[in-house]
Structure 1
Amino acid sequence: MKLKNKLALTGAATMVALFLGLNANAARMDMVDVSNNNGYMSTAEYVSMRNEFGVKAVTVKISEGGTYKDPYAASNIANVQAAGMYINGYHFARYATKAQAIAEADFAGKTAKAAGLPVGAVLATDVESQEANSQSKATNDRNNKAFMKEIQKFGYRADIYTSGSWANNKMTIKSKTSWIAAYPFVPAGKNWYSTNHAWQWSSTAKFRISYGGFDVSQLNDNYYSAGQKSTVKPTNKAAVKANNRKANKNTYHSAASAKWVKEAKTYTLKTAVKLRASASTSSNTITVLPAGTTVKTDQAIIQGGYRWVRQPRFNGFGYLATGPASNTLEYVKSGATHTYYKVKYGDSWWTIAQRNGLSMTTLANQNGKTIYITIYPGQRLVVR
C-alpha cells in the first residue's frame, strides 16, 4: 500500500534504497497491490504482469477510514478479472475503537460491493495508521477482530495486513493468517513469514509497461487466490472497454517513446514472418519472408506491444515484429557466436534483461531456464 508512514513502520525499509525486482534469490511476484497512487491501470498492464512476471492475484484499495472511496477500485477490479487473475481488496483502517471498526467495515463492505469486488474475495484490513499506533495491543486485537467479523457479513473473507515490526508487537498475528510487509529483501535464500498467508517483500518492483514502483508479495498458500470467482460482468461493460482501448493506446504510445538501438545481427527465420513498411502491425505488408530466410538487421525497438527490428533494403527499410510484448523471438541467430554476461551480486533477471534490450522470458529461454530459477553471481548468461 503506497503510504508514507508504511516505510516508517516497516523497520528494515529505511536501511537502504535499492531496486528490488526479481533478484537472483528474490521471492516470487505472486501478488501485486494497487491503489489510486498507481493511476488508471489497463487490462493490458495486468496481462503483462501475469504473462511476463507470473503475477496471479491483485489486491486493490477499496476505501480508507469512514469516507474515502478509491476512485480506481471499480476499473481495477474489472480489468484485473478481464486479465484472468484473482482479485482481492483492502481497506486502510483509521479506527481506534470497536464501534469505529464496525462502522468502517460496513463502509468498506458497501463500497466493495458497489465497485464489483466478487463475493468470496479477501477484503483485508490494512492496519498501520497513527490511530492504531496509539492503541494498546489488546485494543488493536479487539478492533481488528470486530472489523473482520463485520466484513464477513458481506460475503468477503477477512485478513490483516500490517508491517513486520508491528506483527505481535502492536497486534497479535497468528500462524496461517495475515499478510505481512517486511523489506528491503536481501537475497539470502530466506523465505520471510512463510507461515503467514502472504509476505510483501518490495514496494519498488518494476513492470515492463507500467509506470512507477509496485508493492509485490509472495503467496505462501492459496488464501488470496482461491475461494472466489475469477470473472465478473462489469457494471458498464461498454465503458470499461472504451477505457481499456484508450489506456492501451496510451500505454503503447509510452512504450513507443523508446529509442531505436543499434542491433547489427544476422538471423535465420524459424517461421514465416511478415515484412512490413513500418514498425506497426497495421502497416502494409511488403512481403512474407518464408522460414529459412536469412535476415540482416541494423536496429531494434520495443513499440506497440511488440519488439521490432529493421532490415535495410535496396529501396529503404523493412520491419519485422520479432514477437509479442514478451519478446519471444520468431527467429534464431545464425552461427555459434554468442555474447555473454557475467552475473554480479544484486543482479536479477529483470535488470539483466533490461540492460540488454530483452524480456525476462526471452533471456531465461535462451539460457535454457525460467525466470523462477535462481541465478547466482559468477554465472554466465547468453545475452546475444
Structure 2
Amino acid sequence: MKKKVLLGALAFTSAFLLAVNVNAARMDMVDVSNNNGYMSTAEYVSMRNEFGVKAVTVKISEGGTYKDPDAASNIANVQAAGLYINGYHFARYATKAQAIAEADFAGQTAKAAGLPIGAVLATDVESQEANNQSKATNDRNNAAFMKEIQKFGYRADIYTSGSWANNKMTIKGKTGWVAGYPYVPAGKQWYTNNNAWQWSGSAHFRISYGGFDVSQLYTDYYTAGQKSTVKPTDKDAVKANNQEANKNTSKPSTSAKWVKESKIYTLKTAVKLRIGASTSSSVITTLPAGTTVKTDQAIIQGGYRWARQPRFNGYGYLATGPASNTLEYVKSGATHTYYTVKSGDSWWAIAQRNGLNMTTLASQNGKTIYTTIYPGQRLVVR
C-alpha cells in the first residue's frame, strides 16, 4: 500500500516528519484499498483535521487483470481534501517477465485513474507467489517492476511485511514501506531506517466505516518533499486520537480453543488471508469479494472470529468478523457450480466462458493465475 505526491498537498516539512514522538506512533499515511471501497472528500478531510493524516495510498491494481473500481474517485477526493496521493499495485508476479508485464498494466491503469505524475506507485509484495521464490528471484523481479514503473513517470518503492524484509527480499535503508504490528505500538518506533512503518491494520476514523492500515513516515518520500499550507485544524483532536489509536485494550486469550467448522463462505468484501490467526501475522494474499472459502476450524481471539482454510501447502487464516461471532465479512451456505478442465483450457478461457474475472476464478479455487491447471481438474465457477 503506497501513496503519492499530491498537488497542493498538506503542509508538513521534512524536519517535522523526522521529529519522532517516542510515546505514540503517528497516523501520517492511510492505506485505502478495494476493501474500503468509495471514500468521500469529507472522510479524507476528517482524517486530515482530526487525526493528522498527511498522505493517502490508493490501491490501483492487482496481478495482470484487476483494476480497483474506486481508484479514480478516491484519487480525486484525496486531492480535493488537500492530501498527498500515491498508489500501489498488489504484486502477483513470479518471474521477471511477469513483473514487467504487471508494471505496464499498473502504470497504464494508474494513468487512466488520474494518479499524478511524480507520485509513488509502489509494488506490494506479500503474495504466495513471492513466498515461493528465493530472495534473489524476488529482488530481480522487484527491480524489474520498479524500473518499468518509472517509465510512466512514477516513483517506485516496495511494500512488504517486517518478517519478509531482508529475508524474502532486500529492503535497503532509506527505501521501503515495512509493515509490523506490535501488540501495543506506543513507546517503540519500528523500521526507522526506512521510508515508512505501517504499524496498524485496523485503525478507525470517526466518519469512516471499517478498519484501515496506517503508517508513520520517517522520510518525505511519500510526500515528495513538498511543503503545503494545509494543516490539521483540530490539533487537540489529532493528539487525542493518535493516543487512542496506540492503545490496545484487548488481551491475548489464554482459553480460546479451536472448534471444528466444516463450512463454505462467500466473501462480501475483500479479506486478507494470513499465515496465522492474528492481525500481526504476515499476509499470504488478499482474497477479493466474491471468493468462496472452505473452512475446517474456527476460533475467537484477539478481537476477531477467525476461520482456518486448508490450502495446498498448509493453512490460511481469515477474520470472518468481530469477536461477537457475527459473520460481518462473509455469508455462509454457498452452493457451487463446478467446471471440469479440458485439454487446451486456460484460466482466461474458463473465466471468460463463465463470466468471471481470471484472478477471481483462480482465487476462489485457492490458486493464482500462474498456477498450472490440468485436464480433469474440477474448478469452482459459481
TM bracket (short chain): 0.5 to 0.7
Q: Residues 328 and 104 of structure 1: is their aligned pair in 2 closer, same or farther, counting only changes over 3 Å? A: closer
**From 132, 135, 140, the counterpart of 1:134:** 132
The DSSP-based 3-state class of the residue aligned with 1:52 is helix
**Displacement, 1:154?**
0.3
**Equivalent residues of 1:64, 1:91 under 8 A apart:** yes
2:23 corresponding residue in structure 1 = 25
Q: From the two aligned structures, give the one with the greater helix fraction.
A: 1
Question: Match for residue 60 of structure 1?
Answer: 58
State yes or no: 1:199 paired with 2:171.
no
Paired amino acid for 1:47 = V
Change in CA separation of 1:86 and 1:130 when aligned onto 2, cut-off 3 Å: same
| Contact residue 124 and residue 158 of structure 1 kept, 8 A | yes
In 2 relative to 1, CA 203–143 (structure 1 residues): closer, same or farther, beyond 3 Å?
same
Structure 1 counterpart of 2:213: 215
Instruction: State the superposition RMSD in angstroms.
Output: 2.8
Counterpart of 2:223 in structure 1: which amino acid?
Answer: S
- C-alpha deviation, 1:53, in angstroms: 0.3
**2:46 — aligned with what?**
48
Amino acid at match of 1:54: G
- 2:40 is the counterpart of 1:34: no
Structure 2 unaligned spans of 5+: 2-20, 248-382
Match of 2:157 in 1: 159
Deviation at 1:186, TM superposition (A): 2.1
C-alpha distance after superposition, 1:293-350 (max 9, x if no partner) = xxxxxxxxxxxxxxxxxxxxxxxxxxxxxxxx96999xxxxxxxxxxxxx9xxx9446
| 8 Å contact kept, 1:32–1:214 | yes
Identity of aligned residues (%): 84
**Counterpart amino acid of residue 138 in structure 1:** A
CA distance in 1, matches of 2:66, 2:117: 21
Q: Does the residue aligned with 2:172 lie in a helix, a strand or coil?
A: coil
Q: 1:172 aligns with which of 137, 156, 170?
A: 170
Deviation at 1:119, TM superposition (A): 0.3
Structure 1 residues 116, 96: closer, same or farther in 2, change over 3 A?
same
Query: How does 1:201-280 map onto structure 2 within 5 Å?
Result: 201-226=199-224
Rounded Cα–Cα distance in structure 1 between residues aligned with 2:140 and 2:165: 15
Q: Determine if contact 2:139/2:170 at 8 Å carries over to the other structure.
A: yes
The answer to whether the Cα contact below 8 Å between 1:118 and 1:228 also exists between their aligned partners in 2 is: no
TM-score using structure 1 length: 0.54
Unaligned runs of 5+ in 1: 2-22, 231-324, 330-342, 353-384
Matches within 5 A, 1:1-384: 25-187=23-185, 189-226=187-224, 348-349=243-244
Alpha-carbon distance between aligned partners in 1 of 2:58 and 2:78, rounded to the nearest angstrom: 9
After superposition, the Cα gap between the structure-2 partners of 1:227 and 1:151, relative to the gap in structure 1 and judged at 3 Å, is: farther
Count of aligned residue pairs for this structure pair = 222
Asked whether the 8 Å contact 1:182–1:201 carries over to 2, the reply is: yes
- Report runs of 4+ in structure 1 exceeding 6 Å deviation: 325-329
CA distance in 2 between counterparts of 1:181 and 1:206 reads 17
User: In 2, distance between residues paired with 1:175 and 1:155?
Assistant: 23
* Corresponding position of 2:260: none
Q: Deviation digits for residues 146-166 of structure 1, max 9, x if unmatched?
A: 000000000000000000000
Partners of 1:33 and 1:214 within 8 A in 2: yes
CA offset at residue 226 of structure 1? 1.3
Cα deviations by residue, 1:147-195 (Å, 9 ceiling, x for unpaired) = 0000000000000000000001100111000000000352452210001
SS at match of 1:152: helix
Contact 1:121 1:228 in 2 (8 A): no
Maintained 8 Å contact 1:120/1:229: no
Contact 1:121 1:227 in 2 (8 A): no
Change (3 A) 1:119 1:224: same
CA contact (8 A) 2:125 2:160 kept: yes
